Amino acid sequence: MRTTPPRPARRSLLALGLGAVLTAGALGTAAPAGAAPPGPRDPAPLVVQTAEGAVEGTAPDGYRLFQGIPFAAPPVGDLRFAPPAPVEPWSGVLDATSPGSACPQDPSATNPTASVDEDCLYLNVTTPAGLDTARKNLPVMVWIHGGSWRTGSGDRYDASKLALEGDVVVVTINYRLGPLGFLAQEDLSRENGAVASGSAGLLDQQAALRWVQRNIRAFGGNPGRVTVFGESAGGSAVCAQLTSPSARGLFDRAIAQSYSCTAPYDDLATAEAKGAAVAETVGCASAADVAACLRETSVEELLAAWPGGAFVVGGSALPVQPAAAIAAGDHAKVPVMHGNLSDENTLFTPLNPTVATLAADGFTEADYASVLAGIFGDDADEVLARYPAGGYASPLRALAEVNSDAGSALSTCEHVDAYETLARPPVPAPVFAYQFRDETADPLLDFPYPGYPEDAQHAAELPYLFPGLFGDGLTAEQEQLSTAMVRYWTNFAAHGNPNGRDVPTWIRYRAPKDVQGLDIASDGGIGPVDVAAEANCEFWATLA
């Protein structure tokens, strides 16, 4: 944990100049009797007292930023693979002007970060700057990053646009990834008791949400209006938290982007079998104490041996599949925003090793037919008739359309299934569904294949919420769409409903035609679309 001792040069400033500010603003209590309230132009405090100790952030243009705040003990040594432990309080003022380390990960095609530092359970807080704002008990949005459950970090996401335009407090978090966050193994399960193993990453996210409950008033946020939101693996995390018994009461609304809330995960037995294979690979399978051996194995070896994996179903943190829990009404009854992108799998289709090999020599109509036959067997001809290669810019683009419409947790039809499940009895909560459709958006990865427009590719909506994340920046027309999206997201955080002034009406989901399309004005604009019809979901249901 990175702390700094009390700084003598600043001690008198903290004690004398900021004492009233820390009491009235940071701690969220009334000013002393007879004290004149601060003027509306007074700055919000850059030193904030949390339950664990004081932190000092920075004040960029119009907002405050606190980075690298620890929310749990470093998960090292005996705490590797274990549920997160409480962070030790500190004395003095913690330097919160730079982010903490990203959790251990190897770089990928979509994420350049590399780390082997297990001391990584840090979060970042962005708020509007004015002291009058800091006293408003603002809505809080807690962002869970994506990255295939094996890459990413919270500090990559610039939350200033959401905070300033939406008048919210935004918290971006780290959580353990890859084998450190999701490895299940029989001996580890025995050590952890009811929680079993494979849930460290999920429980890290809950530890961050508990930090928010303890501390967010000090930053001007309201712990009774917390929205958890995330994209891709982060969207899957939102869905898992919706159904996790140990997450109840930690948030009040949920936004799941680009991962179906009814997608399945490995059960404990399957995950433990994968863990046994990891133990074999790193030389721990025959150890007298397999769990101790895994804790002593280097991070690099664990990362190299990890076959991939996500949340594990079977322990107390996630006892049943999310789809089953939602269908039974055994989930958090909070308003939900849920959606995807119209062309999700133009990102992942060329990354498939088989497809990539074929595409290197030119992906032909014969290749397309062969891949469909391998996936759909006797139904391949029906799929080919519905998605003929000649109807698209290239056979490879036709395959991406198939993958975007059906067959994965990112696909449109899988999302429609989630909307239907969430919106139906026994105990429905308000559901607002969307699809991002701006085909001019910059792609996360731009592929060199001819006749392969990426269109609204997976993750392409993120720079509309978090400026500068990737790409060349937004055009004037895209900025208009971005402004509307930020209003929808932050309206939802404030009220549990995305509707408000200066944005087109968004209909609560009751049927597939009630999905809000999000597009630039010159290509359809914002309004309801029947995504199930466009994605041929009735056809795909006949093949299920």
List, in order of start, the domains of the chain with CATH numbers: 8-69+92-266+317-327 (3.40.50.1820), 336-485+498-543 (3.40.50.1820)
- Which residue type is seen at 363? F
Angle at 443 between CA 442 and CA 449, to 5 degrees: 120
Candidate from 22-26, 295-299, 504-508 with smallest mean pLDDT: 22-26
Say how far apart CA 147 and CA 162 lie, in whole Å. Answer: 21
pLDDT tops 90 at residue 82: yes
397, with CB counted inside 10 A (0-12, 13-18, 19+), is buried
**Which strand (E) or helix (H) includes residue 65?**
strand 63-70
> Which tokens go with 206?
């809950």
- State how far the alpha carbon of 319 is from the alpha carbons of 196, 246, 506, in Å: 10, 10, 34
| DSSP, res 245 | G
Pairing assessment for the beta strands 527-529 and 515-518 based on DSSP bridges: antiparallel
What is the value of pTM for the model shown?
0.91
256 Cβ neighbours under 8 A, 6+ residues apart: 229, 230, 235, 236, 238, 239, 242, 336, 337, 338, 339, 418
Classify 249 in phi/psi space as left (phi over 0), alpha (psi -120 to 50) or beta.
Answer: left
Say how far apart CA 154 and CA 170 lie, in whole Å. Answer: 11
- The two most distant CA atoms of the chain are separated, in Å, by 82
pLDDT for the residue numbered 294: 98
Handedness of CA 12, 13, 15, 20 (dihedral sign): positive
φ/ψ of 515, rounded to 5, equals -85, 130
pLDDT for the residue numbered 428: 75
DSSP lists the bridge partners of residue 125 as: 66, 171
Q: With contact defined as beta carbons under 8 Å apart, do 442 and 518 qualify?
A: no
> Which tokens go with 20?
């009233």
- Tens of pLDDT, residue by residue over 514-543, are 999 999 999 999 999 999 999 999 999 999
Per the prediction, the chain carries an average pLDDT of 91
| DSSP, res 286 | T
Active site residues: 232, 344, 458
pLDDT tops 50 at residue 41: no
- Give the SS3 label for residue 165: helix
pLDDT tops 80 at residue 39: no
DSSP lists the bridge partners of residue 128 as: 63
φ/ψ of 229, rounded to 5, equals -145, 150
Say how far apart CA 464 and CA 475 lie, in whole Å. Answer: 11
pLDDT for the residue numbered 132: 63
* Residue whose pair of structure tokens reads 């693979």 in the numeric block: 81
- From 248, 225, 247, 239, select the one nearest 166 (Cα to Cα): 225
- Tens of pLDDT, residue by residue over 398-444, are 999 999 999 899 999 999 999 999 998 777 789 999 999 999 999 99
pLDDT tops 70 at residue 12: no
> Which tokens go with 392?
């698209």
- Which residue type is seen at 457? Q
Task: Kindly state the percentage of the chain with pLDDT values over 70.
Answer: 91
- State how far the alpha carbon of 197 is from the alpha carbons of 83, 184, 234, in Å: 9, 5, 20
pLDDT tops 80 at residue 373: yes
- State how far the alpha carbon of 481 is from the alpha carbons of 160, 235, 476, 488, 518, in Å: 17, 21, 9, 11, 7
Say how far apart CA 392 and CA 229 lie, in whole Å. Answer: 34
544 Cβ neighbours under 8 A, 6+ residues apart: none
> Which tokens go with 292?
């101790």
pLDDT for the residue numbered 13: 25
pLDDT for the residue numbered 276: 98
pLDDT tops 70 at residue 15: no
Q: With contact defined as beta carbons under 8 Å apart, do 437 and 342 qualify?
A: yes
- Tens of pLDDT, residue by residue over 83-141, are 999 999 999 999 999 999 999 999 988 888 999 999 999 999 999 997 565 567 999 99
Predicted confidence band of residue 35 (pLDDT cuts 50, 70, 90): very low
390 Cβ neighbours under 8 A, 6+ residues apart: none
- Tens of pLDDT, residue by residue over 457-500, are 999 999 999 999 999 999 999 999 999 999 999 999 999 999 99
Handedness of CA 98, 72, 78, 114 (dihedral sign): negative
pLDDT tops 70 at residue 26: no
pLDDT tops 80 at residue 24: no
Residue bearing the bigger pLDDT, 25 or 537: 537
- Tens of pLDDT, residue by residue over 288-318, are 999 999 999 999 999 999 999 999 999 999 9
Say how far apart CA 310 and CA 59 lie, in whole Å. Answer: 37
| DSSP, res 377 | G
Residue bearing the bigger pLDDT, 25 or 331: 331
Question: What is the average pLDDT across 353-363?
Answer: 96
Q: With contact defined as beta carbons under 8 Å apart, do 133 and 171 qualify?
A: no
- From 263, 418, 408, 390, select the one nearest 346 (Cα to Cα): 408
Instruction: Find the radius of gyration of the CA atoms of the chain.
Output: 24
Say how far apart CA 66 and CA 46 lie, in whole Å. Answer: 8
pLDDT tops 50 at residue 31: no
pLDDT for the residue numbered 147: 96
pLDDT tops 60 at residue 23: no
Helix 365-376 / helix 395-405 crossing angle, nearest 10 deg? 30
pLDDT for the residue numbered 44: 79
